[in-house]
């Protein structure tokens, strides 16, 4: 492997550490795609889960999902019209692990194609770098795709090398199929809360841009089948249960006695846990300013991620070297210098040196101060 520039080396080591946290794949994929921007900048990242025959199972993409475009892709282009300008998706089953260069699609025919103008262009996508992800023994796991939009620079051969360097750890992390830790703390992720506005009968009036993607994650990921379902079906069991409670609350508010009782009760909320994290939905009644009009239900949705993910993100943001980061992770966990040295197979004196330099860079002086600083970054009181 060629020697990487310091910044790229740090980003790669951070990605490798993230992939070694033992996260469930549904949690690892969003966290990895987010962290990957530091190694290979892009506008949006995507991962397609496939079976071993190269058939698409589901996918995760950063940012809002346009379900109409997604349905059009599955109905008209997936392994069909896309083959006019690029290899069919099913060709992944025969593709070796590694990079598919952006140069493959950098030609006039692609930019004049229906695939580009009906699927890519409306989503602000211009060029892509793709990686076929396989386990060490060759089992196909899926396709990792990085996109850049109009006006952004093309992916270079250096970008290809950086992405290739990140693939082995990512594949190993996916194949390990980590599980959730018992009683693991969950914290709000970086994704902002999303909002749905509905009638009490369940008719969707409005939805924020990311609401559907969040509901798809809670339902098990974006797949052809799930994309064709009504929005409320994706929200099961959270949305129907909240609507029921809000209807009961509306009936209670209809009498003076009920209004007095309801004023003391907090708005209803429901937590739904899946391999992708914990999903919390909170409901609120919105009374109409027009006399006699029915109230509306406002639902706020939020995904909570494992503390391990939030902690790793906070540590990666610190102005310290990769070696210092690894030591700080151990110190945060309460390990001694000797225990960290044993785990890393280095002398305790090396650990002490890393810790001293990290403390100096962070303007702190103790293990307790490190925990306080990182907890503040993570958002833990």
194: helix, strand or coil: strand
Q: pLDDT tens across 46-90, in order?
A: 999 999 899 999 999 999 899 899 999 999 999 999 999 999 998
335: helix, strand or coil: coil
pLDDT band for position 43 (50/70/90)? very high
Check: CB of residue 39 under 8 Å from CB of residue 11.
Answer: yes
* Lookup: tokens for 178: 């980590």
Min mean pLDDT across 170-179, 270-279, 339-348 is at 170-179
Q: What is the pTM of this model?
A: 0.86
364: helix, strand or coil: coil
Question: Domain locations in the chain?
Answer: 6-176, 189-304, 318-378
280: helix, strand or coil: strand
Q: pLDDT tens across 186-196, in order?
A: 998 888 999 99
> Which architecture, in CATH terms, is 189-304?
2-Layer Sandwich (3.30)
Burial category of 89 from C-beta neighbours within 10 Å (exposed 0-12, middle 13-18, buried 19 and up): buried
Q: pLDDT tens across 157-206, in order?
A: 999 999 999 999 999 999 986 555 667 889 988 889 999 999 999 999 99
Domains 189-304 and 318-378 share a fold: no
Angle at 26 (CA atoms; ends 23, 27), nearest 5 degrees: 45
Predicted pLDDT of residue 231 = 86
In this structure, are strands 98-100 and 56-61 parallel, antiparallel, or unpaired? unpaired
Q: For the chain, how are helix, strand and coil distributed in percent, rounded to 5?
A: 45, 20, 35
Cα torsion angle, 194, 199, 201, 203, sign = negative
Q: What is the 3-state secondary structure (H, E, C) of 125-155?
A: CCEEEEEEEECCCCCEEEEEEEEECCCCCCC
A 10 A CB-CB count for 229 gives: 16
Predicted pLDDT of residue 199 = 94
Is the peptide bond preceding residue 237 cis, with omega within 30 degrees of 0?
A: yes
| 4 closest CA partner among 205, 158, 199 | 158
Task: Tell me phi and psi for residue 340, to 5 degrees.
Answer: -65, -45
Homologous superfamily (CATH) for 6-176: GAF domain (3.30.450.40)
Looking at every residue in the chain, the average pLDDT score rounds to 90
| 368 closest CA partner among 339, 376, 184 | 376
Predicted pLDDT of residue 260 = 61
DSSP assignment string, 9-78: HHHHHHHHHHHTS---HHHHHHHHHHHHTTTS--SEEEEEEE-TTS-EEEEEESS---HHHHHHIIIIIT
In this structure, are strands 140-148 and 194-199 parallel, antiparallel, or unpaired? unpaired
The DSSP secondary-structure symbol of 80 reads T
* Lookup: tokens for 373: 């600083």
193: helix, strand or coil: coil
Task: Tell me phi and psi for residue 41, to 5 degrees.
Answer: -60, 140
- Taking the C-alpha atoms of residue 270 and residue 280, their distance in angstroms, rounded to an integer, is 6
Determine the average pLDDT of the residues in 266-277.
89
- Taking the C-alpha atoms of residue 166 and residue 187, their distance in angstroms, rounded to an integer, is 27
Q: pLDDT tens across 210-249, in order?
A: 999 999 999 988 888 898 888 888 888 899 999 999 998 8
CATH class of 318-378: mainly alpha
Check: CB of residue 86 under 8 Å from CB of residue 104.
Answer: yes
Query: What is the distance, to the nearest Å, from the Cα of residue 56 to the centroid of all Cα atoms in its chain?
Result: 19
Q: pLDDT tens across 1-36, in order?
A: 456 677 788 889 889 989 988 898 999 999 999 999
- Taking the C-alpha atoms of residue 215 and residue 226, their distance in angstroms, rounded to an integer, is 10
- Taking the C-alpha atoms of residue 198 and residue 207, their distance in angstroms, rounded to an integer, is 9
Determine the average pLDDT of the residues in 263-275.
84
């Amino acid at each position: 492997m060629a020697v990487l520039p310091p910044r790229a080396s740090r980003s790669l080591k951070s990605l490798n550490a993230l992939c070694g946290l033992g996260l469930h794949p549904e949690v690892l994929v969003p966290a990895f795609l987010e962290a990957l921007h530091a190694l290979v900048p892009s506008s949006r990242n995507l991962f397609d889960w496939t079976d071993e025959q190269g058939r698409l199972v589901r996918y995760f993409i950063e940012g809002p999902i346009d379900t109409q475009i997604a349905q059009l892709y599955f109905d008209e282009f997936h392994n069909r019209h896309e083959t006019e300008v690029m290899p069919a998706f099913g060709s992944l089953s025969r593709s070796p692990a590694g990079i598919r260069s952006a140069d493959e699609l950098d030609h006039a025919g692609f930019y004049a194609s229906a695939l580009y103008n009906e699927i890519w262009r409306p989503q602000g996508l211009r060029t892509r770098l793709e990686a076929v992800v396989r386990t060490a023994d060759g089992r196909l796991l899926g396709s990792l795709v990085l996109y850049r939009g109009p006006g952004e620079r093309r992916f270079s051969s250096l970008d290809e090398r950086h992405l290739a360097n990140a693939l082995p750890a990512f594949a190993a992390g996916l194949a390990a199929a980590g599980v959730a830790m018992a009683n693991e703390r969950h914290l709000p992720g970086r994704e902002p809360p999303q909002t749905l506005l509905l009638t009490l009968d369940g008719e969707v009036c409005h939805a924020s841009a990311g609401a559907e993607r969040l509901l798809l994650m809670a339902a098990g990921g974006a797949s052809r089948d799930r994309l064709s379902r009504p929005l409320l079906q994706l929200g099961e069991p959270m949305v129907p249960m909240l609507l029921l409670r809000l209807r009961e609350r509306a009936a209670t508010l209809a009498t003076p006695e009920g209004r007095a009782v309801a004023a003391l009760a907090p708005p209803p909320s429901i937590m739904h846990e899946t391999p992708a994290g914990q999903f919390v939905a909170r409901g609120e009644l919105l009374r109409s300013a027009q006399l006699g009009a029915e109230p509306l239900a406002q639902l706020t949705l939020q995904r909570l991620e494992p503390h391990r993910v939030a902690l790793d993100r906070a540590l990666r943001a610190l102005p310290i070297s990769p070696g210092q980061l690894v030591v700080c992770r151990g110190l945060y966990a309460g390990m001694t210098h000797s225990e960290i040295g044993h785990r890393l197979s280095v002398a305790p004196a090396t650990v002490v040196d890393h810790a001293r330099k990290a403390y100096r860079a962070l303007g702190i002086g103790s293990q307790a101060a490190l925990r306080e600083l990182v907890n503040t970054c993570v958002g833990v009181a």
